[in-house]
Homo-oligomer: A and B are copies of this chain.
Amino acid sequence: MDNLDLMKHISILSPTKIVLLVIDGLGGLPSPKTGKTELETANTPNLDRLANKGTCGLIDPVSPGITPGSTPAHLALFGCDPVRFNIGRGVVEAMGIDFDLKPGDIAARGNFCTVDEAGLVTDRRAGRIPTEKCAELCRLLDGLVIEGVKLLVCPVKEHRFITVFRGEGLAPEVSDSDPQQVGVVPRMVVAQHAKARKTANIAKEFISQAKTILVKHHPANMVLLRGFSRRPNLPTMPEVYKLKPAAIASYPMYRGLARLVGMQVLETGTSIKQEFATLKQNYNDYDFFFVHIKETDSAGEDGDFDRKVRIIEEIDKALPTLTSLDPDVIVVTGDHSTPALLRGHSWHPVPILLYSQWCRPDRVEGFSELACISGGLGRLPATQVMPLAMANALKLTKFGA
């Protein structure tokens, strides 16, 4: 019996409500000037008050030392083992553009790239062509039918696109054509399982036709495909936790992930204020809310320490909209750390605060990486967040007699 089986076994319906506020890339590293992280620098009286009343700790999205992508990091927060439930790159990319993947579809991530006369890849990103150019080229490739299978080609951003194979007899077990280096020819797509032979043949034929169609479109004169995958059959939150969950996220990718675990995705705006307003408007209709704020991660990725600080302060200012709803359980955390100093996701554990009437308070008085070290939750895997939230909402019965 794994974690999710256990949850399924002991979760019960109850009228209590949980709000999980995910501040993307929340964890940081101290500025060499001040010795304080982004969160420690930000003036956050509301988060501090909540940390003071609640209990704090640090979570590891996957395990200590592992820097996660957004997908595994979120799956862990939703209680799914992020190593066991790995979602293919093609599917992630499709979710990122709100593409409505059907259960049988195979999605692959594509790059427009440059090849020379000998067919060697000289630029895996075709000089990062503008997104409009990408869209124009996608229109040339979109809608091909090969062996009765329709190929849908949609632009993502710059050189990135997706190819979706829709039809009968497909399987995702095929190798990448992207060689992940320049100076070599693209790899041959190979079926890694007998049942994927048809898919591999179609992929080869698509690549061959694409080469012909793109021949005069230098630098985008070839395509590379990778991450062939099918929408995974994830355990859903209604099924595992008996929740009626809703997601409030302004980025498509997080809406896609939320949908995969059975959340209702709510219409919302792009600002923090609008997201919190959406929470307020829909508060009566659901018992679990995943509220996702992306901008902290983007600032961290840009290496913009001060902007990350400002966004955290903006969240703190908006927080009373959330707390005044008086949810039974409030969890504030991140999916992973994105220290501005590292300009990217990192492996550092992520601060978490959990507030409920039934949490056992600790000595933490403010919400920060440093304070969370001595929090009552200790250091725990992110997959434990949902069990703790459920317990604090009195939505779990006793295990065993």
Q: Which residues of A contact B (CB under 8 A)?
A: 1, 3, 6, 10, 27, 29-30, 35, 37, 58, 62-73, 82-84, 86-87, 89, 92-93, 227, 341-342, 344-349, 358, 360-363, 369-370, 373-380, 384, 386-392, 396-401
Contact at B30–A63, with CB atoms within 8 Å? no
Contacts of A10 in B (CB 8 A): 66
Contact at B65–A400, with CB atoms within 8 Å? no
Contact at B87–A384, with CB atoms within 8 Å? no
Contact at B345–A398, with CB atoms within 8 Å? yes
Contact at B373–A68, with CB atoms within 8 Å? no
Contact at B400–A68, with CB atoms within 8 Å? yes
Copies of this chain present in the complex amount to: 2
CA–CA, A380 and B347, complex, Å: 15
Contact at A388–B65, with CB atoms within 8 Å? yes
Interface contacts beyond A65-B391, A373-B376: sample of 6 additional A-B pairs, CB < 8 Å, sorted by A: A62-B399, A65-B389, A68-B398, A83-B399, A349-B378, A379-B379
Q: 6 closest Cβ contacts across the A-B interface?
A: A65-B387, A378-B379, A72-B400, A69-B400, A65-B391, A347-B391
- The CB with the most chain B CB atoms within 10 A, among A6, A89, A369, A400, is that of A400
Known: A360-B369, A401-B92. A396 touches B71 (CB 8 A): no
Chain B nearest Cβ from A228, distance in angstroms: 13
Contact of A65 among B92, B345, B362, B396 (CB under 8 A): B396
Contacts of A376 in B (CB 8 A): 373
Contact at A396–B360, with CB atoms within 8 Å? no
Contact at B342–A399, with CB atoms within 8 Å? no
CA–CA, A350 and B105, complex, Å: 49
Contact of A86 among B37, B65, B384, B400 (CB under 8 A): B400
Contacts of A361 in B (CB 8 A): 30, 35
Contact of A360 among B29, B92, B344, B387 (CB under 8 A): B29
Contacts of A387 in B (CB 8 A): 63-66, 347
Contacts of A399 in B (CB 8 A): 62, 66-69, 72, 82-83
Quick one: closest B residue to A5, CB to CB?
B83
Contacts of A348 in B (CB 8 A): 360
Known: A89-B401, A358-B29, A401-B71. A66 touches B374 (CB 8 A): no
